[in-house]
Amino acid sequence: MTEEPVDPSQIGERDAPPVEEKPYKIIFEANKCIAAGKCAEVSDNWEMELSSGIAKPQTYFFEDDELAHNVRAAEVCPAKKDKGVIHVIDRRTNTEIAPDPHGDGTLSVEW
């Protein structure tokens, strides 16, 4: 039996808060994080795990008032040849807000 590929937009949705309450989410490719710490410098949602050197968000789902600094964290991430490994998704439209390297809102997650 062939296993279907994972749709990144569905990650975490089973246990997610309602879209109306938290319309944005983060998809984080932690296995590709290079521990530069840029995300933690620009966003209160991101912190560096000292033991592993890997960043992690305090929350994956958030509201409008937390959007700007999470977008900034995605934009400054130098991993994956500057395409970033932090993806901010608008759950209402299932589009990538940041970093959006393709320029069309499609998810730039690589697994």
50 versus 27: which is more confidently predicted?
A: 27
At 97, is the secondary structure helix, strand, or coil? Answer: strand
CA atoms within 13 A on the CB side of 13: 13
8 versus 59: which is more confidently predicted?
A: 59
For the chain, the domains span 18-98
The span from the CA of 73 to the CA of 82, in Å, is 12
Q: What is the mean pLDDT of residues 17-40?
A: 94
Dump the DSSP string for 4-64.
PPP-GGGTTGGGPPPTTT--EEEEE-GGG-----HHHHH-TTEEE-TTT--EEES-SEE-G
- pLDDT, residue 106, reads 87
pTM for the whole structure = 0.88
CATH topology (fold) of 18-98: Alpha-Beta Plaits (3.30.70)
Query: 39-94 pLDDT, tens per residue?
Result: 999 999 999 988 888 889 999 999 999 999 999 999 999 998 878 899 999 999 99
